[in-house]
Amino acid sequence: MATDTFNQQGFDFIPPLYSEEEILEIVNTIEVNTKDKVNFRRSNNLFAIRRFLLEIPEVLPLVFTQKLKSILTELLGENYFLVKSIYFDKPADSNWYVAYHQDLTISVNQKIDTESFGPWTVKPDNYAVQPPLAILEQMVTLRIHLDDTSAENGALYIIPESHNKGILRPELIDWSNTTEKVCPVEKGGIMLMKPLLLHSSKRTTNLQPRKVIHLEFANAALPNGLEWAERWNWKA
């Protein structure tokens, strides 16, 4: 992993970090701890757990191995903390298209009207709000892939370096002069990305499942009494 490349391009990859046995243990732990719970998002197209590490703390030592902590230390240094965790399980017949977008909101515990924060959205168990650009620019996302993910199987398509252009309106982009890149990831591997990087995903064509752990990290204290909904020190 080259930190300079990541900062310039807005994305990078880490080769498989988890073994088949480790992935199986993570998946089994999730299944055991969600079997009788109904408060997670379930449909024929998607199973999702927001506030994933808070809902299933049993996976913490399985996900945050010493290998991952070493990579996070190299990438983020000492001042970053986790601010969001989501688990996605898209079944083999889950098949929808996600248009190009940037991840522009953060999750906070309560709504406090604050200058340069907005618009606001009510989410289960927290609020989502668009913060100032400076906060979004320093954030980092890790996507841990628990299945092989290819162009035929929901891998992200991204626009390299688009994170350097502030907040973009995809409908105003000159796509004739824009380079698109597909981002396949091996099972157990990790994709790193900046939330402001334009990204999308196409419909699956190979009917393979896609399980992903989505983690977001930040290093900014929020003003005016606002608090991150899921702040956790991964170094502890």
Domain 3-29+48-218: which CATH class?
A: mainly beta
Listed by start position, the domains of the chain span 3-29+48-218
Q: What are 100-157's pLDDT values in tens digits? A: 999 999 999 999 999 999 999 987 778 999 999 999 999 999 999 999 999 888 899 9
In the chain, the percentage of residues whose pLDDT exceeds 70 is: 92
Measuring CA to CA, which residue among 158, 147, 143 is closest to residue 215? 143
Q: What is the pLDDT of residue 236?
A: 73
SS (H, E, C) 41-74: EECCCCEEEECHHHHCHHHHHHHCCHHHHHHHHH
Q: What are 14-44's pLDDT values in tens digits? A: 999 999 999 999 999 998 888 766 555 555 5
Per-residue pLDDT at 8 exceeds 60: yes
Q: What are 51-109's pLDDT values in tens digits? A: 999 999 999 999 999 999 999 999 998 899 999 999 988 766 656 678 899 999 999 99
Per-residue pLDDT at 178 exceeds 60: yes
For the beta sheet containing 106-108, the strands, ordered from the edge strand earlier in sequence to the opposite edge, are 106-108, 126-129, 120-123
CA 229/CA 86 separation, integer angstroms: 13
CA 182/CA 175 separation, integer angstroms: 15
Q: What is the pLDDT of residue 176?
A: 82
Measuring CA to CA, which residue among 96, 111, 170, 183 is closest to residue 141? 183
The total of other beta-carbon atoms located within 10 Å of residue 194's CB is: 25
Q: Are 204 and 94 in contact (CB under 8 A)?
A: yes
Q: Position 110: which residue type?
A: Q
- The C-alpha angle with vertex 77 and arms to 137 and 193, in degrees rounded to 5, equals 40
Q: Measured between alpha carbons, how far is residue 64 from residues 48, 53, 79 in Å?
A: 20, 11, 17
**pTM for the full predicted model:** 0.93
